[in-house]
């Protein structure tokens, strides 16, 4: 039996962005030695695989934008899974991939984010990772007028579809939006900025099992990402 | 093993750790820095009752001076409070939030009338050193500083990015009551490109310009930074676009 421990993370790639992924966040020599292997798989929005590739774990960072452009040219949104295998001595530290994201030729600042750790990670060896992680929330600032919000969701399951609920709160108004995703299907769910005259203040995501999930904020005029963040689990 | 050694050293030095929730802040002309304080994650616990929830906020600047105190109150478990940090027109540092009655992660936003970026704070601790330990730190730190070194109590690694149109600066936060001499070593493509030593005041902060760590004309896109400090510290990345610190900025957490 292999003594390696798996962690599957996922992110999404849009054309037009610089997108650099750190194979080992906060690299030190020990941290790098404990990443044994890393394989990436690309999926188009409908869930079909666009190919799988092994990554040299000795690299510091991976140019994800270049890799996707070469392997999936013309695809508007690609979900990329990171199937990482670690020497189990890495625990109880929870390994992450972090990423740098910047829309080219844009006046907006770059974003930096933790690639969504979705499956595995040997939960009983990671402090506090046995929490329920499929019921999450995020709060929005009430003021800016030129930003549009959404959720980016991806189903990492190989065989099971999932029916998720995206719940928005505009003041007292609560609305439920069902989202069904087939295996490896992914979606951009737009969140209405206003409802019954009230601004969007909060969103919740409920699913039967954990999805790859990000909150997005885009400039209304250019569509450029200014917010790309994880949600927060209710139960810590 | 290392953890046990650290605990023993802290006991020997009389260091106490106080559980603290903190977030970074940056103030610049044209940029609004607003905290979102909330208690929404208490919705499914008994802690949801009894609002409004007090959440005292203390704002420290780069010199570690308290520049503002806010007696904030989160109205209910489902109604957040937006708290503008407008006490100073320009500066940076961190705020602490008394989260005794809050069970949620808190957000800090940077933006203007059109859009904002956001990240969250950290529930960690601040370290308090007794007077004699502070004196020892000051004496040994000054001697080590003459050689460009520091007492290597804590080490962190972080990648930063530099390009013609974008870069990520580093906001270093001194989470202790001693002067923290933080040594930074920058490596690109296997070669050391810069070393520097910053003395950060107790409870203070320093905004490290990444351009100062990359050689002029370098094609390096990614720098690997190694920070060594004599007391507890943490960091956030500050994303900057073509107008650098004069333009819109983002704050980005690290693990």
Between CA A118 and CA A116 the distance in angstroms is 6
What does each of the 255 residues of chain B score in pLDDT, given as a tens digit? 677 888 888 898 899 999 999 999 999 999 999 999 999 988 888 878 888 999 999 999 999 999 999 999 999 999 999 999 999 999 999 999 999 999 899 999 999 989 999 999 999 999 999 999 999 989 999 999 999 999 999 999 999 999 888 999 999 999 999 999 999 999 998 899 999 999 999 999 999 999 999 876 666 689 999 999 999 999 999 999 999 999 999 999 987
Residue A9: strand, helix, or coil: strand
DSSP string, A59-85: -SEEEHHHHHHHHSTT-S-EEEEEEEE
Which candidate, B146, B239, B6, places its Cα nearest to that of A99?
B239
Count Cβ atoms below 10 Å from residue A89 Cβ, excluding itself: 11
Within 8 A of A235 by CB-CB distance, chain B residues are 41, 44
Strands (DSSP E) along chain B, which ranges? 16-27, 32-37, 53-60, 66-74, 81-84, 91-97, 107-111, 116-120, 122-128, 154-161, 167-174, 180-188, 191-200, 205-208, 222-229, 233-240, 249-252
Between CA A54 and CA A30 the distance in angstroms is 21
Q: Can you say how many angstroms the Cα of residue B148 is from the centroid of all Cα atoms in its chain?
A: 23
Which positions 158-197 of B are in contact with A (Cβ < 8 Å)? Answer: 158-159, 161, 163, 165-168
**Looking at residue A16, what is its pLDDT?**
95
| Per-residue model confidence as pLDDT tens digits over B195-205 | 999 999 999 99
ipTM of the complex, rounded to two decimals: 0.93
Say whether B41 and A137 touch across the interface (CB within 8 A). yes
| Per-residue model confidence as pLDDT tens digits over B64-91 | 999 999 999 999 999 999 999 999 999 9
Say whether B41 and A232 touch across the interface (CB within 8 A). yes
Contact B81/B75 with Cβ under 8 angstroms? yes
B199 lies within 8 A of chain A by CB = no
Say whether B40 and A139 touch across the interface (CB within 8 A). yes
Residue scoring higher pLDDT (A93 or A199): A199
Which positions 101-140 of B are in contact with A (Cβ < 8 Å)? Answer: 103-105, 107, 109, 111-120
Q: Which residue of A has its CA nearest to B158?
A: A26
Between CA B85 and CA B64 the distance in angstroms is 16
| Structure-token pair, residue B251 | 């704050």
Within 8 A of A114 by CB-CB distance, chain B residues are 253, 255
B29 lies within 8 A of chain A by CB = no
């Amino acid at each position: 039996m292999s003594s390696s421990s798996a962690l599957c993370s996922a992110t999404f790639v849009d054309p037009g962005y610089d997108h650099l992924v750190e194979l080992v966040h906060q690299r030190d020599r020990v941290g790098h030695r404990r990443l044994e292997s890393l394989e990436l798989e690309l999926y188009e929005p409908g869930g079909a695989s666009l190919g799988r590739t092994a990554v040299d774990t000795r690299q510091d960072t991976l140019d994800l934008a270049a890799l996707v452009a070469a392997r999936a040219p013309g695809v508007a949104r690609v979900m990329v899974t990171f199937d990482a295998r670690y020497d189990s001595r890495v625990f109880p530290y929870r390994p992450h991939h972090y990423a740098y994201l910047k829309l080219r030729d844009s006046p907006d600042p770059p974003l930096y984010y933790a690639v969504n750790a979705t499956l595995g990670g040997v939960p009983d060896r990671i402090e506090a990772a046995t929490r329920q992680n499929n019921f999450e929330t995020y709060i929005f600032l009430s003021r800016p007028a030129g930003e549009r919000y959404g959720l980016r969701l991806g189903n990492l399951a190989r065989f099971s579809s999932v029916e998720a609920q995206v719940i928005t709160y505009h003041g007292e108004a609560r609305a439920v939006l069902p989202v069904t995703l087939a295996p490896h299907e992914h979606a951009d769910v737009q969140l209405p900025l206003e409802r019954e005259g009230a601004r969007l203040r909060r969103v919740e995501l409920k699913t039967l099992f954990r999805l790859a999930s990000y909150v997005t904020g885009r400039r209304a005029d250019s569509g450029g990402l200014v917010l790309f963040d994880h949600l927060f689990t209710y139960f810590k | 093993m290392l953890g046990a050694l650290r605990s023993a050293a802290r006991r020997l030095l009389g260091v106490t750790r106080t559980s603290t929730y903190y977030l970074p802040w940056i103030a610049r002309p044209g940029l609004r820095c607003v905290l979102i304080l909330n208690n929404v994650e208490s919705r499914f616990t008994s802690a949801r009752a009894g609002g409004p929830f007090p959440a005292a906020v203390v704002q420290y600047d780069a010199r570690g001076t308290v520049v503002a105190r806010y007696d904030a109150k989160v109205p209910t478990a489902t109604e957040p409070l937006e708290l503008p940090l407008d006490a100073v027109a320009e500066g940076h540092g961190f705020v602490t939030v008394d989260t005794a009655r809050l069970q949620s992660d808190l957000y800090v936003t940077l933006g203007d009338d059109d859009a904002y970026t956001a990240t969250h704070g950290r529930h960690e601790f601040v370290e308090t050193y007794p007077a004699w330990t502070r004196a020892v730190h000051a004496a040994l730190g000054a001697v080590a500083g003459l050689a460009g070194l520091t007492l290597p109590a804590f080490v962190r690694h972080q990648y930063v990015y530099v390009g013609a149109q974008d870069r990520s600066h580093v906001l270093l936060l001194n989470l202790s009551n001693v002067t923290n001499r933080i040594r930074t070593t920058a490596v690109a493509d296997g070669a050391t490109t810069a070393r520097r030593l910053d003395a950060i005041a107790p409870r203070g902060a320093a905004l490290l310009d990444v351009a100062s760590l990359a050689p002029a004309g370098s094609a390096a896109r990614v720098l690997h930074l190694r920070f060594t400090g004599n007391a507890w510290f943490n960091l956030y990345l500050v994303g900057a676009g073509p107008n650098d610190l004069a333009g819109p900025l983002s704050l980005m957490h690290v693990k």
